[in-house]
C-alpha cells in the first residue's frame, strides 16, 4: 500500500502492514519459535513474536499487551474511518468552492451595477452641460440682461466638471468559521429566530412609533404639530399622553429616558424617566440632523448613532463622540446598534455594513437585494426586512444570528419591523391595515 499522500499515513500504513504481511515462521530478532497466539504491544507499537520479546522488552507495567488479531481488526476499522472522513472532506471542498463561486458571481453583478451607475452619472452631467451650451447658442445675440446671464454662465458654470479624486475601494471579508453540527441546531444564547405571538392592535392610528419593552410610544398622525407624545402599553391599559417642552420630529426610547430630535435649533435633547405629564428636555448634542439609534446596556451606558448637520455619521458613548465618518449621510438609508454596541448601517446599494464600536471600521458586509429595513435584536443578531419579487408587495423578515445563519421568520405586507438589541420583543406593522402585532423572539 502506497501511503505517501495519505493523511495519518504512518498509522494507516501500519494498519495495512498488520493486515497484509505474512506471519513470520520465527522471531527475526531473537531467532526463537513464535508464540501462539501472537501478541501486540499497543504502547511500543510492535508485535510480540516470542517469549524473549515478551520478557525482555515488554515486561513492564507501562506496556499494554493485546492479542494481535484484536489490534489488526481495530486498526482496519480505524483506517476505513479515516478514508471515509477524507472523502467527506473532499466533498466539502467541492461544495464550499461552488458556494464561493456563486458569491463571486453575485459580487461581480453588483460591482458592474455600481460602475454602470457611476458611468450614467458622468454621462448625464456632461449631457446636461451640452444642453446648456445649445441653449446659449440660441440666445448669444440677445442684448441686455440675457447676454449678461449668458456671459456669467460661460465664465462660471462652463468650467465645472466632475471627476473621481481617487480609485474606488472595495472591501470583501470572508468569514470562515469552524462550526460543528451543534452550532446549527443550537444557535448562540438559545435564540433560534422563532416568533411567538403576544398581542396586537387593530387599525393603529399612530405614526413614527417606537417600540420598547413595556409598550409603544408614538405621535398622533392627525395632529399637525408634534407637541405631544403618546404611550400605549403592550398588554392593554389606557393610553397616556405627554406634553413636550419643545416640538420634536423624531425620538428613541431607552430604559432610562427619551432622546428626541428638535428642529429649532437642530439639537438632540434628552429627558429622564419616569415621565411626568410634561416631558422637559435638556440638550445633549448640538447640530444633529438625524438620529438612527439610541440604546443602553446593563451598566446604564448610553450609545447613540446619528448624522450631524455636515452629513457625517457619528457614534457616541455616554454623549461623548467616539468616532465619525465624514459626509456619508446621502449613502445611508437606516442604522441601528447591536447588543455588543457595534453598529449596522444600510446603504443605498442595499449593502448592510457592520461597523466597529471602537473606530467605525467595517467589520463585515452583507449584500441583499431589496432590503427596506434593518433592526437589532438580542444576542448580536439582526432582522432584515426584504421585499419579495412578486406582485403582492410582500416583504419577508430574515433573522440573522451572530454566526450569520439566516432564516425567514415572517412574510406579509409589512410596513416596518421594530426590534431592540436590549429586548427580545418584535413589533411588526401591516402596510395595508396599520395593524400592529407584537411577537416574542425565541
Q: What is the pLDDT of residues 176-216, one digit of tens each?
A: 655 554 443 344 455 677 888 887 777 676 677 777 777 78
Fold that domain 181-441 belongs to in CATH: Neuraminidase (2.120.10)
pTM of the model: 0.56
What mean pLDDT value characterizes the chain? 77
- The Cα–Cα gap between 304 and 301 comes to 10
> pLDDT, tens digit, for every residue of 304-361?
999 988 888 999 999 999 999 887 767 788 899 988 899 998 887 778 888 889 888 8
What order of strands is seen across the sheet that includes strand 39-41? 46-48, 39-41, 65-67
- The Cα–Cα gap between 158 and 279 comes to 54
Name all contacts of 18-26 with Cβ < 8 Å and 24+ positions apart: 18/68, 18/71, 18/72, 18/75, 18/76, 19/72, 19/75, 19/76, 24/49, 26/50
> pLDDT, tens digit, for every residue of 118-127?
888 888 888 8
- The Cα–Cα gap between 231 and 367 comes to 36
> pLDDT, tens digit, for every residue of 251-309?
898 888 899 988 777 899 999 988 888 999 999 998 888 899 999 888 889 999 999 88
C-alpha cell at 97: 468552492
Amino acid at each position: 500500500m502506497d501511503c505517501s499522500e495519505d493523511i495519518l499515513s504512518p498509522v494507516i500504513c501500519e494498519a495495512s502492514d498488520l493486515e497484509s504481511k505474512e506471519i513470520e515462521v520465527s522471531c527475526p530478532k531473537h531467532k526463537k519459535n513464535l508464540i501462539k497466539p501472537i501478541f501486540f504491544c499497543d504502547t511500543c507499537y510492535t508485535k510480540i513474536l516470542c517469549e524473549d520479546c515478551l520478557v525482555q522488552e515488554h515486561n513492564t507495567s507501562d506496556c499494554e499487551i493485546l492479542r494481535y488479531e484484536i489490534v489488526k481488526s481495530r486498526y482496519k476499522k480505524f483506517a476505513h474511518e479515516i478514508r471515509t472522513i477524507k472523502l467527506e472532506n473532499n466533498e466539502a471542498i467541492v461544495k464550499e468552492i461552488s458556494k464561493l463561486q456563486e458569491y463571486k458571481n453575485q459580487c461581480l453583478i453588483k460591482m458592474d451595477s455600481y460602475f454602470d451607475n457611476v458611468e450614467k452619472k458622468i454621462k448625464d452631467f456632461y449631457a446636461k452641460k451640452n444642453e446648456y451650451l445649445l441653449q446659449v447658442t440660441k440666445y448669444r445675440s440677445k442684448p441686455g440682461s440675457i447676454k449678461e446671464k449668458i456671459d456669467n454662465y460661460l465664465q462660471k458654470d462652463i468650467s465645472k466638471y466632475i471627476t473621481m479624486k481617487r480609485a474606488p475601494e472595495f472591501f470583501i471579508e470572508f468569514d470562515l468559521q469552524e462550526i460543528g453540527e451543534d452550532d446549527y441546531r443550537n444557535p448562540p444564547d438559545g435564540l433560534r429566530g422563532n416568533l411567538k405571538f403576544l398581542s396586537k392592535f387593530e387599525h393603529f392610528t399612530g405614526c413614527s412609533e417606537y417600540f420598547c419593552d413595556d409598550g409603544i410610544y408614538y405621535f398622533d398622525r392627525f395632529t399637525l404639530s408634534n407637541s405631544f407624545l403618546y404611550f400605549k402599553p403592550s398588554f392593554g391599559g389606557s393610553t397616556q399622553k405627554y406634553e413636550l417642552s419643545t416640538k420634536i420630529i423624531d425620538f428613541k426610547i431607552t430604559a432610562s429616558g427619551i432622546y428626541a430630535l428638535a428642529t429649532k435649533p437642530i439639537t438632540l435633547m434628552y429627558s429622564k424617566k419616569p415621565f411626568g405629564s410634561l416631558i422637559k428636555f435638556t440638550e445633549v448634542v448640538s447640530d444633529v440632523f438625524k438620529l438612527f439609534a439610541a440604546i443602553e446596556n446593563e451598566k446604564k451606558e448610553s450609545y447613540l448613532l446619528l448624522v450631524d448637520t455636515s452629513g457625517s455619521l457619528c457614534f457616541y458613548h455616554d454623549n461623548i463622540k467616539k468616532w465619525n465618518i465624514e459626509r456619508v449621510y446621502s449613502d445611508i438609508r437606516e442604522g441601528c446598534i447591536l447588543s455588543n454596541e457595534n453598529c449596522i448601517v444600510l446603504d443605498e446599494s442595499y449593502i448592510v455594513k457592520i461597523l466597529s464600536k471602537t473606530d467605525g471600521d467595517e467589520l463585515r458586509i452583507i449584500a441583499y437585494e431589496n432590503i427596506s429595513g434593518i433592526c437589532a435584536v438580542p444576542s448580536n443578531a439582526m432582522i432584515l426586512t426584504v421585499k419579495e419579487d412578486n406582485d403582492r408587495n410582500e416583504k419577508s423578515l430574515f433573522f440573522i444570528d451572530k454566526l450569520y445563519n439566516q432564516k425567514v421568520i415572517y412574510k406579509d405586507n409589512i410596513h416596518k419591523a421594530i426590534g431592540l438589541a436590549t429586548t427580545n420583543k418584535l413589533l411588526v406593522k401591516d402596510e395595508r391595515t396599520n395593524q400592529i402585532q407584537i411577537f416574542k423572539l425565541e
